Structure 1
């Protein structure tokens, strides 16, 4: 595989860097510590994404007939890398453009596309995903939230947990059970968050204000037209969505940028000469590079038109490992960063805390790798 950037791709990256340099406020590194789901960053992201849209940089990987430029997955990767290196100023809207929008383009009805795609493409929409539940976690097949058909409506009862952005989101990408079949009994609904019967409660956390929530559905009534795809089609749709999600979250790029920043500070302080420090930095850099190349292998296959399967979990777990290692390196050798001495490093540490949870926990990814990639037996051989 040749991962050399073309002149056109290099120019695209430079265009993004120039846009960021001209657009982000001077105090951005400190401001970004608010967290992606905080009211402050969410408000700023709406302005920032609006400017991205004006410069045709918000959805360039979307088809041209939907308002994009039809650019390939490599351009999507470059866009995501530069946004994450900057601390992801799109806030929760990175989810809209990377997988909510593409999923609606592929599976949405004309009415759903007309309603939901323009606000995303203009940078003025915020979504949340109603996946995890108490006792279910990343095991989506075990979810218990029910959507029961009642004439032209569905009545939904249940609970979701660890829902990012729910407190400020406009719409929820909701998974609910429409029959008892473990996988084929799950359907997807596009639910406005102001629908009667929804209650949102914030879960206090150390990763920033407003990041995670519980969401309760009590006799919530939604029209059948809110269903995305057919009844029982959720497993197929979610598999497509998550492949797009993982492609659009190159956390390794922020981890490597934070590591480089930490090494520069240690050199300025005369603390990088010790062998132990240099070895630990090299190990963290190697993990970042491994995660990058694992992700690039997935992008290369997708660009070639190949179907991406569960091997994306390997790239996902490699990214978790590099995020954790860089965070540990900073905590060990620059602990003052976590007390606000180095805002960029503190911002990365906050993002790294959830690296093993977001988009499917690290433990679930390991299970997928063991069973579906390595095809290891579930029970020990006698």
Structure 2
């Protein structure tokens, strides 16, 4: 790996920063700490449209779908800068990182023509219907069922912890079409379909960020099934590889740590235990960053990441936790809203071990697939 950024990559990063500096409103820090609030969601659609017009929303997508065929490094630089700024794209980062690319790989012509260009223009918001009350990150145990009758499926079940569902246009839904691990299928379901009910789950991580979603005799035509029946497991393997390393949360954690340390230095409070704790958090942020770069380098070389994606994801969980703990202990006033961007990171850090697959699931994958440890003592 070449550890230096090219002139083109440095210029691209500078371009993103210039656009953000010009576009983010003066009260952005107050908007950013409500990651799925109505105000943030409205602003996300505006800035995503602006980014699309500037060629900065999906530069890594093929030109036929609104991109300019940029390599994975530009995609990651874009994601780093967005997260460092508090992720102004809101939930549309999912469209950019994995939903669009997955539809390009597995979608029918109708599905691609219907959904991809609105994503490329920043006009649409999606949610993902994965977790369920009794299955969580264990997708093989999900119970939401889709029963086919002619050319239509009837879907019944419940999803939980569904981010952005309250304002989403479409749900990337997993449902069981037969028994067993290979009996799961994917459906692209408009959220205004009769029979879908969305309920907010009160939380401390932001306004309207997570929801329960109920499906009661929801009718979905087979043309909105992604791929073949039972193909979900194959598709989700690629989804998770893109998702777990496509969200550089470490960049916001690193900036948060830097800002917190600057505040402490100005007040003469950066001493003793604070220095030691900051050093450990900084080391964790750098470890997460460099491991993510290792995986992006593989992606740039057309090598698909396997369980390494879970290692990268868990390293980011650790750095977010350490930075959150540092802020809570040494800058506790931030949690009351005195420093909105520190609060924004704290709110995201709370769910660091749950979003994109629970930390415990990542550890199981690392143990069995990466380290190849036996499941039982020998």
If the TM-score is normalised by the length of the shorter chain, which range does it land in?
over 0.9
Rounded to whole Å, the distance in 2 between the matches of 1:282 and 1:47 is 38
1:28 maps onto 2:25 in alignment: no
Q: TM-score, normalised by structure 2?
A: 0.99
Rounded to whole Å, the distance in 1 between the matches of 2:156 and 2:354 is 25
| Aligned counterpart for 2:188 among listed residues 173, 187, 190 | 190
Rounded to whole Å, the distance in 1 between the matches of 2:302 and 2:82 is 25
1:250-269 alignment runs, 5 A limit: 250-269=248-267
- SS of equivalent to 1:34: coil
Name the residue aligned to 2:216: 218
Q: How many residues align?
A: 378
CA apart distance, 1:54 = 0.6
CA apart distance, 1:247 = 2.7
Structure 1: gaps (5+ residues): none
Runs (4+) off by over 4 Å:
none
- 1:110-140 C-alpha deviation (Å, 9 max, x unpaired): 1001100111111010000000011100000
| Aligned counterpart for 2:246 among listed residues 248, 265, 281 | 248
- 1:16-37 C-alpha deviation (Å, 9 max, x unpaired): 00000000001111221122x2
- SS of equivalent to 1:270: coil
CA apart distance, 1:308 = 1.0
- 1:151-182 C-alpha deviation (Å, 9 max, x unpaired): 010011111111111111000000001111x2
Name the residue aligned to 1:129: 128
Structure 2: gaps (5+ residues): none
1:60-79 alignment runs, 5 A limit: 60-79=59-78
Q: TM-score, normalised by structure 1?
A: 0.98
1:169 maps onto 2:164 in alignment: no
Rounded to whole Å, the distance in 1 between the matches of 2:138 and 2:337 is 37
- 1:222-276 C-alpha deviation (Å, 9 max, x unpaired): 101010000111011111112111232000000000000011111000111x222
CA RMSD of aligned residues (A): 0.8
Name the residue aligned to 2:232: 234
CA apart distance, 1:64 = 1.1
Contact 1:77-1:247 at 8 Å conserved across structures:
no
- SS of equivalent to 2:67: coil
1:99-110 alignment runs, 5 A limit: 99-110=98-109
Contact 1:34-1:41 at 8 Å conserved across structures:
yes
Name the residue aligned to 1:52: 51
- 1:348-374 C-alpha deviation (Å, 9 max, x unpaired): 111111111100011110011011111
1:349 maps onto 2:346 in alignment: yes
Name the residue aligned to 1:358: 355
CA apart distance, 1:79 = 0.1
